[in-house]
Structure 1
């Protein structure tokens, strides 16, 4: 990938998108975001699970809450699959101005070096296309890069967990074995799923990039306590222990949120 500069987030652009997405997440998804006060005032690395297919509703709900809380005074960068930047090429300039940058290690390094906080979704396609009945299970795919980054720069890791966002569409099968069999990852980086989905407006479909109308599931999000890690970022044992701790606390948080829900979608 070519070296990309990290543009300044445009708060004017964000205010416009916030004016659109704010009412949507509050009314359509009945978004509830808890404990924003747990986010440190200093730079941090926020980690979320990837739900809802190509449209991560939990990430959008959190993004709205971030700018509600910090009042467009503190930018948030979000690592997004570089395929999004290619598919939506007409919006290549708009995406970075909104804080969305390609999920590439060199880009991540430059965001961190710039002193800004960052939100990552390590689970990528593997997680966001997990079957509907596995919606309560976090699957970060063993991707430990965010732990190394936190250790390297002494950043607190702030887990962000949600319930309901993987009820905005129904994934019948992730198609991981099929994706592996046909070598999909050789064509598209991190594309380790070829799902079959049920939802609006297509009914039954198997093309992940097609736009969708999410189901109006209630989305509840909670920010967990920051996790401070220390040790050598090149030591695999240290990294795995840090990863396991983050994963364990995130899974416990998701379990608590889902224990509150009585029905899928309704909440």
Structure 2
């Protein structure tokens, strides 16, 4: 896997650098991600895009000198031109052999287990982890011996007001590449033609989790995997709750 470079990287850094200012973005407890060694950053998927995690990658690029490797939606492989963008950003769309190269270099990988199902919900479902029994991220962490760093925060579900369950509607209408069909309102109209509301976003980073790396852990035992999965999901939910509790305005709006 090549590192991010060229126009895609420059565009990414410029755009999400501006978004950091727009959303007055800050990170609480960045230290675990600055320690040596590759880690799997596992986060909540805000709506409709994981903008907070994108901004986190810009912050990490400034500190570490590389853009963490995102595991992106499968549509990147199916929509013309998007594969080149993903390659330019150092992103993959699954358990790609190039991941081993990135891990060997000690570089972080970023993943949102909830995907568009979590990110494209209505305003009725906010700041609640919804991963079901999606264990792919955990298998990835076991295979590459990656500690899992949970992240959550506040603000990411306030940038747009979701009007429907985009994941369910997309599946019902047979959208290509399993894309969601989500309707949301922002500061200047309807997404994706609208600016987000200029809410403050704060990212909270947890301590690395290593239950899945302990001697005797059996990745082929579903009960063990589900127990570890619930622990990670619970850690992300706790960070979401803690971040919102620290912000009186968002806590009151819950």
Structure 1 residues 22 and 201, CA gap change in structure 2 (3 angstroms): same
Measured on the aligned residues, the alpha-carbon RMSD in Å equals 2.8
2:165 maps to what in 1? Answer: 174
2:98 maps to what in 1? Answer: 110
Count of aligned pairs between the two proteins: 245
Match of 1:236 among 205, 215, 222: 222
Alignment of 1:73-88 (within 5 A): 74-84=66-76, 86-87=78-79
Unaligned residue ranges in structure 1 (runs of 5+): 1-5
2:2 maps to what in 1? Answer: 7
Q: Distance in 2 between matches of 1:262 and 1:20?
A: 29
Secondary structure of 1:173's counterpart equals coil
Q: Distance in 1 between matches of 2:36 and 2:127?
A: 30
Structure 1 residues 173 and 77, CA gap change in structure 2 (3 angstroms): same
1:50 has 2:41 as partner:
no
1:37 maps to what in 2? Answer: 31
Structure 1 residues 110 and 233, CA gap change in structure 2 (3 angstroms): farther
TM-score for the superposition, normalised by structure 2: 0.84
1:64 maps to what in 2? Answer: 58
- 1:10-40 CA deviation, whole Å, 9 max, x = no partner? 2786356424432331x21000112111124
- 1:161-182 CA deviation, whole Å, 9 max, x = no partner? 1210111111022155544544
Q: Shift in Å at residue 83 of structure 1?
A: 1.4
Q: Distance in 2 between matches of 1:176 and 1:82?
A: 14
Q: Distance in 1 between matches of 2:3 and 2:115?
A: 25
TM-score for the superposition, normalised by structure 1: 0.80
Secondary structure of 1:168's counterpart equals coil
Mean Cα deviation higher: 12-21 or 122-131: 12-21
Q: Could you tell me whether the CA contact under 8 Å between 1:175 and 1:195 is conserved in 2?
A: yes
Structure 1 residues 172 and 104, CA gap change in structure 2 (3 angstroms): same
Unaligned residue ranges in structure 2 (runs of 5+): none
1:3 maps to what in 2? Answer: none
Structure 1 residues 11 and 180, CA gap change in structure 2 (3 angstroms): closer
Q: Could you tell me whether the CA contact under 8 Å between 1:44 and 1:155 is conserved in 2?
A: yes
Q: Shift in Å at residue 84 of structure 1?
A: 3.9
2:202 maps to what in 1? Answer: 220
